[in-house]
């Protein structure tokens, strides 16, 4: 089976830098996949992307060495299994708030006896290899999002679930839940302490800490201990570049 390259980075204590795909288009996915990133996430929760668009985007990413990840709309086994069968090497599950939800996410990502995933890697076997069944349980990443006060209260219960590989902070939802003005890279003391606690709990349970961030502060997040870090996204990068181009002309 094709190696999950992110795991190799983590064994060397190196950060995995990623990009976010919210635009449902194979060419924009191809452009992003041509950059020097370690992973790309197809966002089926908030991105304008459905299953029939996500599959060709996964095929596009497959032409590169970038690790493909999908954020599913909800902690629902059917869509988790379907995206894994389509070739995702990691599943980000939003709004995982307690142990039972973490157990459900982990079970959907693993074949028996470690989970409940049904066998049928229709596309995944062509992408990953025809020995997929023998290795998928060790190569696929289950990535619950920690993004509510409830999840913080149940943090150790969530991260101690067998099969949880990464805890990924959703900063906007977490800060909203905490009653803080929502900021992706905010430094409000409550959010700073939440980040610190998540990193510490991840180390305790052998889980990789991840966070949604921006290039200007990504180095600080790496120093804090995060090892799965989103640093850019398709629509935000496009808007920023266009605005810069407009400013150059209007100010000349």
What is d(CA 92, CA 205) in angstroms, rounded to the nearest whole number? 18
pLDDT score of 183: 85
Mean pLDDT over each residue of the chain, to the nearest integer: 97
Catalytic residue list: 46
Per the structure, how many domains does the chain have? 1
CATH number at residue 157: 3.20.20.60
List the domain range (segments joined by +) for residue 226.
5-250
Cβ-based burial of 198 (10 A; exposed 0-12, middle 13-18, buried ≥19):
buried
How do residues 62-77 score in pLDDT, each as one tens digit? 999 999 999 999 999 9
For 113-200, list the strands marked E by DSSP: 141-146, 166-169
Question: Which region holds residue 163: left if phi is over 0, alpha if psi is between -120 and 50, else beta?
Answer: left
pLDDT digits (tens, 9 = 90+) for 221-232: 999 999 999 999
* pLDDT tens by residue, 75-102: 999 999 999 999 999 999 999 999 999 9
Beta-bridge mates of residue 233: 20
- The residues facing 169 across adjacent strands are 146, 211
Span 144-159, average pLDDT: 98
Instruction: Extract the runs of DSSP E, i.e. beta strands, from 114-242.
Output: 141-146, 166-169, 208-212, 228-233
Mean pLDDT of 156-177: 98
Asked whether residue 252 carries a pLDDT value surpassing 90, the answer given is no
In the prediction, which pLDDT does 84 show?
A: 98
């Amino acid at each position: 089976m094709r190696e999950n390259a992110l795991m190799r980075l983590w064994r060397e204590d190196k950060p995995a830098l990623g990009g976010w795909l919210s635009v449902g288009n194979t060419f924009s996915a191809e452009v992003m996949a041509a950059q020097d990133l370690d992973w790309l996430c197809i966002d089926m929760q908030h991105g304008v992307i459905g299953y029939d668009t996500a599959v060709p985007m996964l095929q596009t990413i497959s032409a590169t060495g970038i690790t493909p990840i999908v954020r599913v709309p909800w902690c629902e086994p059917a869509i988790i299994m379907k995206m894994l069968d389509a070739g995702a090497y990691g599943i980000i599950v939003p709004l995982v708030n307690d142990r039972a939800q973490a157990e459900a996410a982990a079970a959907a990502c693993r074949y028996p006896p470690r989970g409940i995933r049904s066998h049928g890697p229709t596309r995944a076997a062509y992408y990953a290899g025809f020995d997929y069944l023998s290795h998928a349980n060790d190569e696929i990443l289950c990535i619950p999002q920690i993004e509510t006060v409830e999840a913080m209260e149940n943090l150790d219960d969530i991260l101690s679930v067998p099969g949880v590989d990464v805890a990924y902070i959703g900063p906007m939802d977490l800060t909203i839940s905490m009653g803080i003005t929502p900021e992706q890279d905010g430094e409000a003391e409550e959010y700073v302490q939440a980040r610190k606690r998540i990193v510490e709990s991840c180390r305790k349970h052998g889980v990789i800490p991840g966070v949604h961030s921006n290039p200007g502060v990504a180095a600080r997040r790496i120093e804090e201990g995060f090892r799965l870090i989103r640093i850019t996204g398709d629509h935000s990068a496009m808007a920023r570049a266009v605005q810069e181009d407009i400013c150059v002309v209007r100010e000349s």
